[in-house]
Chain A
């Protein structure tokens, strides 16, 4: 049976290739830093389960040391000139679009296939495994028809990854920080604090505190999943559900969505907010958050109103 382990091996090999190509790139004044950074990430993907917890911790410290002391850079240029791209696009355009759509199409088909035919792949990870197959198939089809130099996909992929830089591991780092917060009991302390701010006997006040608390705590943790159990224990369960008799399904479902409004407004949700800014090469790293606030705030108000209307 195919598991996530297969995808980790694939990712490890890709990062190892990025590291090796980075080392050979004399145009990058920080090539040793880049090679070490992507090399350590390759090691984590390939052998993380054998390093032990403390070993993995040391690996993270090394990654942070490399990035934190500014040892990661990128060589200028490297992209194919726009005129060449335009000329190639005129020739290959529809085919390129087809290959681009192979990845989502295979991810979609694989997700259903692996769920219906048990034993092929781990059904819990069906989409991620299918995504990896989509990448391999798209690469195979693209290489067969376009016949580029053998290393071109890896070189161009490395160029894109170097543009993102250390932000590539920011989401994983923040998820790990969340685990340390949980271990230290940060959630309970914040929940108690918010619980003490609610005016006595006000149903709307409690609803407001619950919705705002979900959004604010999600902004701090970068993740509504971490905020939900805390806010439910501090406000949702004792006040909204027990004292005012609110419908638990409404309180939970819409409360979670109020938390998602917080996700749109925080740099802590790096994979949604900071990584795309780097990937799209925006000048302002907070550019995506800036445009999302205008959607998140009214939607948060709507969610709080929905809890108040539908739960009681």
Chain B
């Protein structure tokens, strides 16, 4: 039971808005001590894990390209594209991106799009432009919500597309764990059972995108 102290520290730390890096370190130390490890062993275990997971942080190498393109007006161009497309409403734009992201993830192309690669330079400015096209007095709060929905759409598309792909990590994990209990299951079975949820995710999030579009317009009518 004592090892759960690390979870309490994390929850309290995030709620009280301490610097998350300090909270994580405190949680790791408390958890390790509760489990009977000495400090040097905890530091070494954390260091090993940090080194093994460096691939998580390599996505930042994209930034110089994004910085270059944005300095030359990529965001403005993405907006002007939307202005020229009459049918490109906010809801349709994000729903199309959702479908595209799900489809690409479903064939294993998870790192092809993402928050650095596509959302910041393209999807978010396009979504803002689509919202502005219907509402020339878009408020700061509305702008924030549109951008947040652009990021959320990327996440929903990725999460509920990737498990359809046969060789994704989570499917291999499920196969491995069930094998440990003596069940031999082909990856295809896991993939197929991910499809109903993928459809449900598209319908639920798509519905919310439509409501977002309406909400962004309604305030204009009332203003």
Contact = CB atoms under 8 A, between A and B. Distances in A.
* Chains A and B are bound partners: yes
B72 A146 contact: yes
A85 B78 CA distance: 12
Given A92-B72, A174-B24, A49 B51 contact: yes
Interface stretch (A27-35, A200-208, A299-307): A299-307
- Residue of B3, B63, B77, B109 most packed against chain A (CB within 10 A): B63
A15 B80 CA distance: 33
State the main secondary structure of chain B at its contact with A: helix
Contacts of B204: 295, 298-299, 302
B151 interface: yes
Interface string A271-286: 1111111011011100
Given A60-B46, A85-B71, A104-B113, A295 B201 contact: yes
Contacts of A183: 32, 35, 37, 45
B193 A276 contact: no
Given A184-B31, A224-B170, A89 B80 contact: yes
A176 interface: yes
B144 A161 contact: no
A111 B112 CA distance: 10
B152 A44 contact: no
B44 A14 contact: no
B64 A299 contact: no
Contact of A275 (B32, B73, B115, B144): B115
Contact of A154 (B55, B56, B64, B178): B64
Contacts of B122: 97, 100
A75 interface: no
B163 to A, nearest CB: 6
Contact of A89 (B60, B62, B72, B110): B72
Which of A100, A132, A148, A275: most chain B Cβ within 10 A? A100
B1 A248 contact: no
Contacts of A232: 177-178
Contacts of A185: 3, 35
A163 to B, nearest CB: 10
A89 B32 contact: no
Contact of A295 (B49, B73, B208): B208
Interface stretch (B85-93, B129-137, B153-161): B153-161
Interface residues of B, number: 113
Given A55-B47, A58-B47, A263-B159, A85 B200 contact: no
Contact of A171 (B28, B35, B57): B57
Nearest to B176: A229
Interface string B30-42: 0110110100101
A81 B35 CA distance: 54
Contacts of A160: 63, 66-67
A23 B138 CA distance: 39
Contacts of B201: 295, 299
A92 B77 CA distance: 9
A89 B121 CA distance: 13
Interface string A167-210: 11111111111111101111001100000000000000000000
Interface of B: 1, 3-4, 6-7, 10-11, 14, 19-22, 24-25, 27-28, 31-32, 34-35, 37, 40, 42-78, 80-81, 108-113, 115-122, 124, 140, 144-145, 147-152, 154-156, 158-160, 163, 169-170, 173-174, 177-178, 181, 183, 185, 189-191, 193-194, 196-197, 200-201, 204-205, 208
Given A58-B47, A275-B115, A302-B197, 9 more contacts: A55-B47, A56-B51, A177-B24, A180-B46, A232-B178, A264-B155, A267-B20, A271-B56, A283-B140
